[in-house]
Amino acid sequence: MFVSIEAAKAKRPEWLKAPAPVGENYRDLKQLVTDLKLHTVCESAACPNIGDCWNRRTATFMILGNLCTRRCGFCAVQKGAPLEVDQDEPRRVAEAVSRMGLKFAVITSVNRDDQPDGGAGIFAATIRSIRERVPGCGVEVLVPDFQGLHSAMDIVLAAQPDVLNHNTETVPRLYKQVRLGARFERSLEMLAYAKQSHPEIPTKSGLMLGLGETLDEVRETMRALRAHKVDIVTLGQYLRPSVKHLPIVRYVPVEEFAQLKSYGVELGFKHVESGPLVRSSYHADEAVK
């Protein structure tokens, strides 16, 4: 089932409507991240689930600033000359996790190709800070590809995250339009390296649908992820942040997401999160369980 671009412009399907970001918990968390001078991918990437997640007192912290060194065509995060690395940021993230009473925290970042380690050291410091401040709290990290540097991945893995996530984002054919500066094969290799060097740490990846990929290409990409020992996969609908970003080619119906979930289970993924509003960190704690 395809939805025309004209129809997509006219009306967003009912299944893509998310709760408005309101409520006491939402206001509390917004004030908290402001007070601690932190960034969240929920705000910076204009995530549609911000109302749902923040009202459940969950958030994905975005470290290493809010300016990305890459210019991916789908992403709402600002691009530009990166800020100086904030060495105190890990402590403040741990403080936020403590004050929120989290039992599971998700940490991601902008791309920092300007840094020799791609920012891996700050990822590791954040994991350690959370563990010291909130013993028993689980931590998932959503890392960039570190330009293929195994040494950078080693730094993150040595801190023992509970989940190592790296999104492939789309099918290989669309990489030049969707993920400037990235390569599908490099992302697969980094996921495989993480699993090979630390088999006890679950690996995870995610795809956005609706950018022009075919169903066969999605299935092929899922097979490639599973062949590289990825444990968890997420599938969600791409939503255009602004007219400056890549257009939505189609809205993927709920039924197709359900079919892909079943296909992922058949392939042997330990967990598949598949639906229009699914994002890589959406209900991340449930995926681990």
Three-state DSSP string of 16-37: HCCCCCCCHHHHHHHHHHHHCC
Q: Model-level pTM?
A: 0.86
Q: What mean pLDDT value characterizes the chain?
A: 84
Q: List beta partners, residue 232.
A: 204, 271
| Domains of the chain in sequence order | 5-288 (3.20.20.70)
pLDDT at 208: 93
Of the candidate ranges 30-44, 68-82, 132-146, the one whose mean pLDDT is the lowest: 68-82
Residue 122 pLDDT greater than 90, yes or no: yes
pLDDT at 44: 44
Q: How are beta strands 60-63 and 39-40 bridged, if at all?
A: antiparallel
The pLDDT confidence band at residue 8, using thresholds 50, 70 and 90, is very low
Q: Which residues lie below 8 Å from residue 39, measured CB to CB, with a gap of 6+?
A: 33, 61, 62, 63, 65, 66
In the numeric block, which tokens belong to residue 13? 């399907």
pLDDT at 26: 61
Residue 54 pLDDT greater than 60, yes or no: no
